[in-house]
Amino acid sequence: MRRLSEQKKAVNRWRELEKRATEVAELISLEDSSLEAEIQSEAEELASRLDEFELEAAFSSEYDARNAILSIHAGAGGTESQDWAQMLMRMYLRWAECRGYQAEILDISPGEEAGIKSVVIGVNGDYACGYLKSEHGVHRLVRLSPFDADHARHTSFALVEVLPEAEADVDVRIEPDDLKVDVFRSSGPGGQHMQKTSSAVRLTHLPTGLVVSCQSERSQHQNKEIALKILRSRLLDLELVKRAEERARLKGKRIAAGWGNQIRSYVLHPYKMVKDHRTDYQTSDTDAVLDGELDGLIAAYLRSSLGEEK
């Protein structure tokens, strides 16, 4: 039923686009010079939407249409990397807001002095996972440090992970006996209640060793539900990685994984540039990118991946 709903929604969007294209064609047939500006505006909007729809129609994974679980982890470097992780969190929250997606911080671990150690964000919207999969990997920042008295140039790293939201008991079934549940007091800012009650939850999946914790909510039950949601997505991703590795083994290819996958550099000094190393797409408007304007980078990645599949 979920897949049927997705297909119906896609068909209705294409029919709506076709209807608007017909209306523009009728305006053109009138040959009224006073309508040129309106026709130009409508044509540009149609071209933009057509480009977006074509990318969505080409998504190959059965999970591309789903909501996404996005995680950001600060790399080595202490406060510098933790501040960079927080900048990335803001960037993705702004991107989701601009696209009309719902973004919710599911769990966050603040840094000691500034920034964040890690954060888990749920992004809900059509093809959220399909678009955000371009962000999976290591992000590198080069800038003059605001935390260094000498204002020296620093390089910081953060890891971004993107997982499809798993459906309970459909994609992944977790047996109660496979879970170890620990409760503890929340740490960091959050108010007197969160710090004095054992509301935080840590789940350990015994067969795989995966550990997920959540302490962002006041209720232990809510934290457990969020942790289970994240754990299901991680288990689904683990299964997808195994399938990909098996396909790569059969094809004779080697898959590089982990922190070696530096996908993008954000250079703020001595010049300004954001460059994606997979597609060579680059822009000098670093402020716009860090404010959530990622569509150019994402579209370049999706087009390049489509070319590889062909």
Same-domain pairing of 75 and 134: yes
Average pLDDT of every residue of the chain: 86
Q: Does residue 102 share a domain with residue 247?
A: no
Does 308 have pLDDT greater than 80?
Answer: no
Residue written as token pair 């020296």: 152
| Tokens matching residue 196 | 């004095």
**Sorting pLDDT into bands at 50, 70 and 90, what band is 242?**
confident
Give the CA radius of gyration of the chain: 22
Same domain, 39 and 72: no
Which tens digits make up the pLDDT trace of 255-271?
444 456 689 999 998 99
Sheet holding 153-164, edge to edge: 102-110, 116-124, 68-74, 153-164, 137-144, 262-267, 273-276, 282-283
Last residue of one domain, picked from the residues 210, 232, 251: 251
Average pLDDT in the 247-252 region? 60
Q: Which residue has the higher pLDDT, 159 or 126?
A: 159
Quote the distance between the C-alpha of residue 281 and its chain's center.
19
- pLDDT of residue 90 exceeding 80: yes
What is the pLDDT confidence band of residue 98, given thresholds at 50, 70 and 90? very high
Mean pLDDT of 171-199: 75
Confirm whether 246 is domain-assigned.
yes
Q: Note the pLDDT tens digit of each residue in 105-141.
A: 999 999 988 899 999 999 999 889 999 999 999 999 9
**Domain limits at 28?**
2-57
Output the pTM of the full model. 0.80
- 16-75 pLDDT, tens digit per residue, is 988 988 988 888 888 888 888 888 888 888 888 888 777 776 687 788 889 999 999 999
pLDDT of residue 258: 47
Residue 237 belongs to a domain: yes
Same domain, residue pair 112 and 81? yes
CB atoms within 10 A of CB 57: 10
Please tell me the total count of domains within the chain.
3
Q: Which residue spans within 37-189 are E strands per DSSP?
A: 68-74, 102-110, 116-124, 137-144, 153-164, 179-184
What CATH number is attached to the domain comprising 293? 3.30.70.1660
H or E segment at 12?
helix 2-29
Of 199-208, 215-224, 246-255, least confident by mean pLDDT is 246-255
The sheet with strand 210-214 has its strands ordered as 179-184, 200-205, 210-214
Q: Are residues 18 and 130 in the same domain?
A: no
Helical spans, DSSP H, in 30-123: 36-57, 79-99
Query: Are residues 187 and 45 part of one domain?
Result: no
Who wins on pLDDT, 85 or 65?
85
Residues 237 and 208 in one domain: yes
User: Is 286's pLDDT higher than 70?
Assistant: yes
Q: How far is CA 261 from CA 23, 136, 264, in A?
A: 47, 9, 9
If asked whether residues 159 and 94 sit together in one domain, one would say: yes
Q: Are residues 265 and 156 in the same domain?
A: yes
Quick one: pLDDT at residue 94? 97
User: Does position 80 have pLDDT exceeding 80, yes or no?
Assistant: yes
Pair (275, 159) in one structural domain: yes
pLDDT category of residue 188 using cuts at 50, 70 and 90 = low
**Cβ partners under 8 Å of residue 72, min gap 6:** 85, 88, 89, 92, 116, 118, 119, 121, 158, 159, 160, 161
Domain annotation covers residue 62? no
Q: In this predicted model, which residue has the larger pLDDT, 226 or 7? A: 226
Q: Please check whether residue 20 lies inside any domain of the structure.
A: yes
Residue 227 falls within a domain, yes or no?
A: yes
Residues 263 and 164 in one domain: yes
Say if 128 falls within a structural domain: yes
Q: Is the pLDDT of residue 189 over 60?
A: no
Q: Does residue 63 lie within any of the structural domains?
A: no
Instruction: Please state, for a pLDDT cut of 90, what percent of the chain lies above it.
Output: 51
Q: Are residues 156 and 261 in the same domain?
A: yes
pLDDT at 250 over 70: no
